[in-house]
Structure 1
Amino acid sequence: MDDNPATEATEPSVFDFDQVDFVTSDHHFGHARIIELAERPFASLDEMHGELIAAWNRLVGPEDVVLHLGDLALGNREESIGVTAALNGRKLLVPGNHDTISSVYRCTEAHKQQTRDLLDQWGWEVLPENLIGTRSGLHILASHYPYRGDSQSEERHAEARPADEGLPLLHGHTHHRNNGAHGHMFHVGVDGNDFAPVPMTVIDEWLDRLGGDCLTTGRV
């Protein structure tokens, strides 16, 4: 694991996707406005927290590995990251633009280190911002960002997005309600997946549907 993540957002890191049981993103713990912005069906922040944790723990067991693709917690990080202690499993985090440890988030190094310490305290392992690796021998990528698309009308954070070389990409960021696959990208954010993590068996079925041509290119 990389203890000093996100200093070079576009530098890929070899990753073993075979170890992952679930993938997800964009919980926005501690962010009350996301209920309005993403039109989430919750009456309060406490209700959102409770439903997100319940949806996670219904699927994820204590020994399962969850890959979280960013925008985990906002607001008072000590409180919002602390909420995640209730989540089952081994938790891996790829930072997103709202995570203070991200390369695109502007704050002091002391603030970033404080967030790293909190993540470590509550059981998170921080990974680089772009992951390239294999799943059952097939090359895939994971990032907070899609190759194309945004939650706003303007596409942001071009410097942090992975380059589209045809590899399948797991991503969050958009908050789109459309579920799952669109071309060779797969949206794993909670807003498009019933507020729950996506089992990697679903990703495996998508990779099978894509076929082998685009899965054997790229480098690791």
Structure 2
Amino acid sequence: MTGRPLTEFDFDAVDFVTSDHHFGHARISELAGRPFGSVDEMNAAMIDRWNAIVGPDDVVLHLGDLALGPIEESVGLTSQLNGRRLLVPGNHDRVSPATQSNRAIERFLPMYEAAGWTVLPEIVEGQRGGARLIASHYPFEGDTTGVERHSSHRPADTGVPLLHGHTHDRAFGAHGSHEFHVGVDASGFAPIRFDVIDAWLASLSSSAPDED
């Protein structure tokens, strides 16, 4: 893991994308309007829904805010999740350069790795089917509050399509003309198959104006 963006990420190798599970976060159902009676019920449901569709050899790209609460226990729970799991840190992750010191990241990184996670930089960019694509916890603009937070940790909008979480929107899919929200609050608390993203990318390509 480095603080620099990863510019040649292989999106073609990814089978699923998701974000914002908040495993172990006792108040997230209240704050985000989730339909669970307790944090234990939420944790169990999200593990079940993940493992129902993700196989042991599938690659899952998680765009941050994985776990909160009693962090060792919450991150440890995620070892039950199927697949080869990649984490792009969000502001609530203990390996986030946006909110944690280098010393804290060094302390907590082994915990995530022990639970089966490969931790990536905050911004990854690469190709999917020959088209450029960016993934980050953060959208180009917008937040869950009226205050725009972590602006220096957001990707620059250069026109490249972006996958993101962070907002806890209940709307599935396009957050803007070339942004796609992948958070679990919009996807039935399960990861999204990447062929959904492929269809979105194809729609962007087909709607682009012809060049002379």
Please, which moves more after superposition, 90-99 or 178-187?
178-187
Deviations 1:97-156 (A, max 9, x none): 0011111113461x3223210111111001111011000110000000001111112211
Which residue pairs with 2:158 in the alignment?
165
* Structure 1: gaps (5+ residues): 215-220
Q: Offset of 1:70 from its aligned partner? A: 0.3
Distance in 2 (alpha carbons) for counterparts of 1:145 and 1:213:
25
Distance in 2 (alpha carbons) for counterparts of 1:65 and 1:56:
12
Secondary structure of the 2:106 match is: helix
Which residue pairs with 1:88 in the alignment?
82
Q: How does 1:38-187 map to 2 (within 5 A)?
A: 38-107=32-101, 109=103, 111-182=104-175, 183-187=177-181
4+ residue stretches of structure 1 with deviation over 3 A?
A: none
Determine whether 1:16 maps to 2:10. yes
Q: Aligned letter for 2:137?
A: H
Which residue pairs with 1:196 in the alignment?
190
How many pairs does the alignment contain? 207
How many percent identity over aligned positions?
Answer: 57
Deviations 1:143-190 (A, max 9, x none): 000011111122111000000001100000000001111320000000
Distance in 2 (alpha carbons) for counterparts of 1:118 and 1:154:
31
Secondary structure of the 2:61 match is: strand
Distance in 2 (alpha carbons) for counterparts of 1:24 and 1:105:
21
Distance in 1 (alpha carbons) for counterparts of 2:102 and 2:60:
29
* Structure 2: gaps (5+ residues): none
Distance in 1 (alpha carbons) for counterparts of 2:6 and 2:134:
9
Q: For the aligned residues, what is the CA RMSD?
A: 1.4
